Amino acid sequence: MAAKVYTIASGKGGTGKSTTTVNLGTSLALLGRKTVVIDADIGMANLGLLLGLERSPITLHEVLSGKAEVSEAVYEGPAGVKVVPCGISLQGFQNSDPEKLQEVMRTLSDEMDFMLFDAPAGISKDGVIPLAIADQVLLVVNPELSSMADALKTKILTEMLGGEVGGAILNRAGMERTEINKQKVSDLLGVKVLEMIPEDPNVRRSAAFKTPIVIKTPNSPAAIAFQRLAAQLAGTEFVEPADESRAGEGFAGRLARVLFGGK
Ligand code: ADP
Ligand code: MG
The DSSP code sequence of 20-33 is: HHHHHHHHHHHTT-
Q: What is the pTM of this model?
A: 0.92
pLDDT (0 to 100) of residue 134:
97
Which of 12, 18, 19 most suits a substitution to test ligand 1, by most atoms within 8 Å of the C-beta? 19
Taking alpha carbons only, the member of 31, 83, 66 closest to residue 232 is: 31
One-letter amino acid identity for 222?
A
One pLDDT digit (tens) per residue for the chain, 263 residues: 799 999 999 988 999 999 999 999 999 999 999 999 999 999 999 999 999 999 999 999 999 999 999 999 999 999 999 999 999 999 999 999 999 999 999 999 999 999 999 999 988 888 999 999 999 999 999 998 899 999 999 999 999 999 999 999 999 998 565 556 788 899 999 999 999 999 999 999 999 999 999 999 999 999 999 999 999 999 999 988 776 556 556 666 667 666 666 54
Nearest CA to ligand 1 atom 22: 199
**What are the φ/ψ torsions at residue 256 (nearest 5 degrees)?**
-60, -40
- Tell me, using a 6 A CB cutoff, whether residue 209 lines ligand 1: no
262 close to 229: Cβ distance less than 8 angstroms = no
Amino acid letter, 75? Y
216-226 burial: b if 16+ Cβ within 10 Å, else e: bbbbbbbbbbb
Beta bridge partners of 35: 114
Say how many Å lie between the CA of residue 199 and the centre of ligand 1.
9
All domains of the chain, ordered by start, with CATH?
4-260 (3.40.50.300)
pLDDT, one tens digit per residue, over 145-181 is 899 999 999 999 999 999 999 999 999 998 565 556 7
Q: Whose CA is nearest to atom 6 of ligand 1?
A: 16
pLDDT on residue 263: 47
Which residues fall within 8 angstroms of residue 256, CB to CB, at 6 or more apart?
Answer: 175, 198, 199, 200, 221
User: How far apart are alpha carbons 139 and 90 in whole angstroms?
Assistant: 27
Task: State in Å: Cα 14 to ligand 2 middle.
Answer: 7
Q: Which ligand is nearest to the CA of 140?
A: 1
Nearest atom (ligand 1) to Cα of 172: 23
Spatial CB neighbours of 30, under 8 Å, sequence gap ≥ 6: 79, 214, 227, 230
- Candidates 97, 103, 43, 112; CA nearest to 70 is 103
Residue 43, number of CB atoms within 10 A of its CB: 18
